[in-house]
Amino acid sequence: MKIILMGPPGSGKGTQASHIAEMAGVYSVSSGDLFRDNLSRNTELGQLAQSFMEKGEYVPDDVTIDMVMNWIEEPQHSDGFVIDGFPRTLAQAEALDEKLSNTGGVDRVVFFDVPEDDLVQRLSGRMICSSCQRPFHKMFSPPQRENCCDYCGEALYQREDDKPDVVRNRLHVYIRETEPVIDYFEKSGNLRRIDASLGISEVREALKEVLR
C-alpha cells in the first residue's frame, strides 16, 4: 500500500507513520528524514539543498521532489510505503502522481485534523531548562515546581519558535500551502480525514479504519 500522511505540525502523524508502516510491513519516511539523510551523506541533492539553506532561502520544490523520488525508486520501497510530510505543495503532489502513474498511484492520503487552538497548545507548551537544556511541556510533562527544572533547579525558558504567536503563524503558513494539495487529493477520491485531536491509541484505530 502506498500511503501519504498529511497534517499540520503537532498533529501526531510522525508518531503514527512508523506504527502504520510496521503493521503494513513497509518502510516509512518523512521529508525531514530525507533532508537529514541527503545532507549527512553529502549527496548532490544534499549539497544543492544546503546551498539554498545557507543563503536563508527555501529549498525549491524540484530538489525536494528528487529526494523523495530517489527514495521511492529504491527496490525495498517498490511494494509500498508510508510518506509523512510530502507532498506539501501542488507541484509536489503532481510530481508524485506522475511518478506512480504506472503502478496505480497513491492508495490513500490521510489528513490528520486537529483544531488550531489544540495545536497551539500542544506546540507552544515546550519549556527548556536554561542550564541543562532538558525539555518539559506545560501540559504533557510539567516540571514539579513551576518554571524550575526538576533535575538542576534552574529556570525554564521558552524558545522563540515555541511562542504561541510564532506557532500560530507557522500553522497559517501550513494551511495556506497545503489547501491546494488537499483539494487535489479530494478530487481524486483518495483523501480521508481523521480526528487527530484524540489520544494516540484512538487515532491509531481511526487510521486503521480508513486504511482498511
CB of 141 to Zn ion, least distance (A): 13
Phi, psi angle pair for 187, to nearest 5°: -65, -35
Q: How is residue 137 written as a grid cell?
A: 511541556
CB of 127 to Zn ion, least distance (A): 11
Our answer to whether residue 159 is catalytic in this structure is: yes
Query: Per CB under 5 A, does 141 bind Zn ion?
Result: no
Instruction: Give the residue carrying C-alpha cell 513497509.
Output: 26
Selection from 75, 142, 86, 106 nearest residue 3 by Cα: 106
Q: Based on CB atoms, which residue is closest to Zn ion, 147 or 197? A: 147
Q: How is residue 86 written as a grid cell?
A: 510530502
Q: Based on CB atoms, which residue is closest to Zn ion, 70 or 130? A: 130
Among 53, 152, 175, 200, binds Zn ion (CB under 5 A): 152
Distance, CA of 107 to CA of 96 (rounded, Å): 12
Cβ neighbours, 10 Å, residue 118 = 13
Our answer to whether residue 88 is catalytic in this structure is: yes
Contacts with Zn ion, 119-138, as mask; x by CB under 5 A: ----------x-xx------
Q: 103 Cβ partners below 8 Å, 6+ apart?
A: 2
Instruction: Exactly one of 13, 108, 122, 204 is catalytic; name it.
Output: 13
Selection from 129, 133, 121, 197 nearest residue 163 by Cα: 121
Our answer to whether residue 145 is catalytic in this structure is: no
Our answer to whether residue 122 is catalytic in this structure is: no
CB of 149 to Zn ion, least distance (A): 3
Our answer to whether residue 204 is catalytic in this structure is: no
Point out which residues bind Zn ion (CB under 5 A): 129, 131-132, 149, 151-152, 154
Q: Which residues are catalytic?
A: 13, 88, 126, 159, 170
